[in-house]
A and B are shown apart, each in its own frame.
Chain A
Amino acid sequence: MAKKIIEVQGLEKFYGSIQVLHGVDLTIMAGEVVVVIGASGSGKSTLIRCINGLEMFNGGDILIDGYILTPARTNNRQNREELKKIRREVGMVFQQFNLFPHKTVLENVTLAPVQVRKLAKDKATAGALRLLERVGLSDQVHKYPGQLSGGQQQRVAIARSLAMEPRVMLFDEPTSALDPEMVGEVLEVMRGLANEGMTMIVVTHEMGFAREVADRVVYIDHGRILEQGPPDAIFDNPQQERTKTFLSRVLRH
């Protein structure tokens, strides 16, 4: 029986007076790959951003591998340390890559290990080179992000995140900003990670990837989890009308 690694309980989130998450419950097992789908504005990004404390929330709590985030805690400076520990457990990959443009590929990957994990520089470099090889970028390590294609940049971003040795990886539409011909190379890296047993929460519109790689698909609608289950069940036999409508819209193209 796999162990729970993330437990989101009754998560409530407001932007001003507008509620964007309505009591979201979500449990993730270690090693599980969960794909989150839903219409634009349904709260997918907000959900995963809450999970690594990038976004404060208003109600409920989030347990991550023994650490706990509560509304007060994300707000409270004394608990910054707890938040820092959580962020070391949880890596995040953004739609816009957000690589550091003034640092080389290698420096992008070694910065946090050296500064946050306090690794010696040569250790960090060796680790970074291994990761960059794994994402297929061994020959680009001394370039700057601006000199790379979008797909290459996103692979660097994944390596940068992995360098902190997270136990969970969050992906927020990692291929949405990419030219179509580069989507495959990034999904390939993600597939590899999944196969090695990384726990992953992936927000994506790549339904092929979801069907193939996900253990579970979660459909979010207007800030609520409306339906979830194995990919085949969700895609081939959705129970909710709204899920059907959404899927028929996205699967058409």
Chain B
Amino acid sequence: MLEDLTNWAPQLLTGLGLTVELTFGGMAIALVLALLLALGRISSSRWLRVPAAAFVELIRGSPLLLQLFYIYYVLPAVGLRLSPIMAGLIGLGINYGAYLSEVFRAGIVAVGRGQREAAESLGMSEGQTLRFVILPQAWRIVIPPTGNYFVSMFKDTALVSTISLAELMFQGQLIASDTFRYMTIYSIIFVIYVVISIPASMGVRWLELYFNRSMSSR
């Protein structure tokens, strides 16, 4: 087993590297998209509100796997050909962006009307109000749930193995089909995911406590 591990290590590490890249890259896209969608959904303009809401519902109403297939296999038919990595990043980013936008929206709404009115009554524009008053407070509310999505994304990257991206799961499948040692390899993969995601979850919980404490001391 130890020998197996050393033999497979380079391949697994390459896979893990890609998994981590996909997690961070996908999350970066998701965060930007989520902010835009959340702002769209609370906008006073119906022309922003309705499309943003429709988009979020579409994405939340369908499986991530289907979305990945759609981006990778269907979009080329209309002339948009994406590399597997781009398709994977965009698929993950869009899916998580939709879910996170709900978190962001709730965070922004939780800041409360009084804060907005105070800023407005001081003559601040909508943009200034958002930037200096609303978002800095929403941020503290939003960080812990966003952390959970981060950990969740780490695990969901396994789905992009289906569009031939050689991340951790895919590498495991390759090794398995070469050696037929399903139990050993998938157990190793299992452990790798868990060893990363459990401490990460604990870190998020710690963050949550930290933010709760620092908020109530104010």
Q: Which of B114, B132, B137, B218 contacts A147 (CB 8 A)?
A: B218
Best-buried of B118, B123, B124, B137 by chain A (most CB within 10 Å): B123
A132 at the interface (CB under 8 A from B): no
CB pair A102 B136 closer than 8 Å: yes
Quick check: B114 and A101 within 8 Å, CB to CB?
no
Q: Which A residues are CB-close (under 8 A) to B217? A: 146
Q: Could you tell me the distance in whole angstroms from the C-beta of B157 to the nearest C-beta in chain A?
A: 34
* A31 on interface, CB distance cutoff 8 Å: no
Q: Given A100-B133, A102-B136, A116 and B128 touching (CB < 8 A)?
A: yes
A94 and B136 contacting across the interface, CB-CB below 8 Å: no
Q: Are A112 and B122 in contact (CB under 8 A)?
A: yes
Cβ-defined contact, A94 with B218, below 8 A: no
Cβ–Cβ < 8 Å partners of B132 in chain A: 100, 111, 115
Contacts of A115 in B (CB 8 A): 124, 128, 132
B121 close to A92 (CB less than 8 A):
yes
CA distance A164 to B137 in the complex (A): 23
Q: Are A98 and B123 in contact (CB under 8 A)?
A: no
Asked whether A101 and B137 contact (CB < 8 A) given A94-B114, A96-B114, A146-B218, the answer is: yes
Residues of the A chain whose Cβ atoms lie less than 8 Å from the Cβ of B162: none
Residues from 116 to 134 in B contacting A, C-beta threshold 8 Å: 117-125, 128, 132-133
Bound CA–CA A213/B29 (angstroms): 58
Q: Is the pair A99, B218 in contact by a Cβ cutoff of 8 Å?
A: no
A67 vs chain B, min Cβ distance (A)? 13
Q: How far does the alpha carbon of A87 sit from the alpha carbon of B132 in the complex, in Å?
A: 18
Closest to B129 in A: A115
Report if A161 contacts B (CB, 8 A): yes
Interface of chain A residues 76 through 124 with chain B (CB within 8 A): 80, 84, 87-88, 90-92, 94, 96, 98-102, 111-112, 115-116
User: Cα distance A112–B131 when bound, in Å?
Assistant: 12
- Contact (A91, B218) CB under 8 Å given A98-B115, A111-B132: no
User: Can you name the residue of chain B whose Cβ is closest to the Cβ of A107?
Assistant: B132
Q: Which residues of B contact A91 (CB under 8 A)?
A: 121-122
Which range contains the number of B residues in contact with the other chain? 10 to 19
A187 to chain B, nearest CB (A): 21
* A164: chain B residues within 8 A (beta carbon): 122-123
B121 contacts A87, C-beta separation under 8 Å: yes
Q: Bound complex: CA of A173 vs CA of B162, how far in Å? A: 62
Taking CB atoms, residues of chain A closer than 8 Å to B123 are 84, 87-88, 112, 116, 164
Smallest CB–CB gap between B115 and chain A, Å? Answer: 6
Q: Which residue of B lies closest to A101 (CB)?
A: B218
Is the Cβ of B121 less than 8 Å from the Cβ of A54? yes
CB-contact partner of A54 in B120, B133, B140, under 8 A: B120
Contact with A along B125-155 (1 / 0, CB 8 A): 1001000110011001000000000000000
Contact between chains at B218 and A116 (CB < 8 Å): no
Contact in complex: B218, A87 (CB < 8 Å)? no
Partner of B218, one of A96, A144, A160: A144
CA distance A116 to B118 in the complex (A): 13
CB distance from A118 to the nearest CB of B (A): 11
The answer to whether A98 touches B117 (Cβ under 8 A) is yes
Q: In the complex, which residues of chain B have a beta carbon less than 8 angstroms from the beta carbon of A146?
A: 217-218
Q: Residue on A with the closest CB to B127?
A: A115
Could you say which residues of chain B place their CB within 8 Å of the CB of A100? 115, 118-119, 132-133, 137
List A contacts of B125 (CB < 8 A).
Answer: 80, 84
Q: Which residues of A contact B128 (CB under 8 A)?
A: 115-116
- Given that A115-B132, A116-B128, A147-B218 are known contacts, is A99 also in contact with B118, CB under 8 Å in the complex? yes
* 20 A–B contacts from the bound complex (CB under 8 Å): A52-B121, A87-B123, A96-B114, A98-B115, A98-B117, A99-B118, A100-B118, A100-B133, A100-B137, A111-B122, A112-B119, A112-B122, A112-B123, A112-B124, A115-B124, A115-B132, A116-B123, A146-B217, A157-B118, A161-B122
Q: Which residues of A contact B (CB under 8 A)?
A: 52, 54, 80, 84, 87-88, 90-92, 94, 96, 98-102, 111-112, 115-116, 144-147, 157, 160-161, 164
**Residues of B bordering A, CB below 8 Å:** 114-115, 117-125, 128, 132-133, 136-137, 140, 217-218
- Other 15 A-B pairs with CB < 8 A, given A102-B218, A157-B118: A54-B117, A87-B123, A90-B121, A91-B122, A94-B118, A99-B118, A101-B137, A102-B140, A112-B122, A112-B123, A112-B124, A115-B132, A116-B124, A160-B122, A164-B123
